Amino acid sequence: IQSFVHRFEPAGAPDRPPLLLLHGTGGDETDLMPLGRMLAPGAALLSPRGPVLENGMPRFFRRLAEGVFDEADLRRRAADLAAFVGAARETYGLPAPLAVGFSNGANIAAAMLLLHPEVLAGALLIRAMVPLAEPPAADLAGRPVLILSGSLDPIVPAQNAARLAAQLGAAGAAVTHEVLPAGHGLTQADLARAQAWLAGVQ
Ligand code: MLT
């Protein structure tokens, strides 16, 4: 648990699953706390800071270029994050969390779903892309996943997000993939869709 700088906010409504908040490149552990409070009022919030620095900007794993990942590093970092979640669950007495990831945070959440399918109860992936060229055969056993993509996203081609949806679906997740009229940034439509989806999975 010492391995990740993080913020934790205990649950006010203990029946809601905790959220694991995973920020985008250049964010930190405080960034998504207001989003988490808004999306799931009363849920416990666990928000680690990405341990990799790219020109001073925190991320969850290394990349070789925009959209080109260092997969060896990604695998190692996904394992580290999975271990952090396990340790935090023990320390704070939490059930398995739902990940809420944006951009780089969504990409490591997608990698964790495929590499460590037991860690997350489900995931909301905002502007995610395929994290691994050769995903392992995971068993996601009906876990709910919402992927929100932007039709005008210059970083994530629509086809790439669709491929991620297909991979997670093939692994047994209950995937919903929605393409919003948006770019790479978060929009009001994302918030509305995310809130409605989260209300349905608790
Ligand atoms: C990534 O590196 O994970 C993607 O390019 C998204 C980003 O962080 O901009």
**Closest of 39, 145, 36, 19 to residue 92, by C-alpha:** 19
Q: By the 8 A CB rule, do 50 and 74 touch? A: no
End-to-end CA distance of the chain: give it in Å, rounded: 26
* Residue-wise pLDDT tens digits, 64-73: 998 899 999 9
* Length of the chain measured in residues: 202
Q: Is the distance from the beta carbon of residue 26 to the nearest atom of ligand 1 less than 6 Å?
A: no
What's the rounded mean pLDDT across residues 184-189?
97
Residue 20 lies in a domain: yes
Q: Is the distance from the beta carbon of residue 24 to the nearest atom of ligand 1 less than 6 Å?
A: yes
Residue 134 lies in a domain: yes
Kindly give the distance from the C-alpha atom of residue 59 to the centroid of ligand 1, in angstroms, as a whole number: 8
The model's confidence at residue 202, banded by pLDDT at 50, 70 and 90, is low
Residue 129 lies in a domain: yes
Residues 25-34: contacts with CB within 8 Å, 24+ apart?
Answer: 25/50, 25/54, 25/57, 25/58, 25/59, 25/103, 25/104, 26/57, 26/58, 26/59, 27/58, 27/102, 27/105, 28/58, 29/5, 32/100, 32/102, 32/105, 33/7, 33/9
Residues classed as catalytic: 103, 153, 184
pLDDT of residue 15: 85
Residue 194 lies in a domain: yes
Structural domains in the chain (count): 1
What's the rounded mean pLDDT across residues 3-13?
95
Kindly give the distance from the C-alpha atom of residue 57 to the centroid of ligand 1, in angstroms, as a whole number: 11
Residue 17 lies in a domain: yes
Give the ipTM.
Answer: 0.94
Q: What's the rounded Cα separation, in Å, for the pair 167 and 61?
A: 21
Q: Which residue range is the domain that position 74 belongs to? A: 6-201
Q: Which residues make beta-bridge pairs with 68?
A: 65
* CATH number of the CATH domain containing 18: 3.40.50.1820
The model's confidence at residue 1, banded by pLDDT at 50, 70 and 90, is low
Q: Which residues make beta-bridge pairs with 100?
A: 21, 124
DSSP state of 75: H
Residue 1 lies in a domain: no
Q: What's the rounded Cα separation, in Å, for the pair 49 and 104?
A: 12
Report the atom number in ligand 1 closest to the C-alpha of 106: 3
Q: Is the distance from the beta carbon of residue 104 to the nearest atom of ligand 1 less than 6 Å?
A: yes
Q: Which amino acid is at 2?
A: Q
Stated as kind and residue range, the H or E segment containing 88 is helix 71-92
pLDDT of residue 2: 64
* Residue-wise pLDDT tens digits, 143-152: 999 999 999 9
Residue 169 lies in a domain: yes
Report the atom number in ligand 1 closest to the C-alpha of 63: 2
Residue 159 lies in a domain: yes
Kindly give the distance from the C-alpha atom of residue 111 to the centroid of ligand 1, in angstroms, as a whole number: 13
Kindly give the distance from the C-alpha atom of residue 186 to the centroid of ligand 1, in angstroms, as a whole number: 14
* Residue-wise pLDDT tens digits, 153-181: 999 998 999 999 999 999 999 999 999 99
Mutational test site, ligand 1, from 63, 74, 164, 184, max ligand atoms within 8 Å of CB: 63
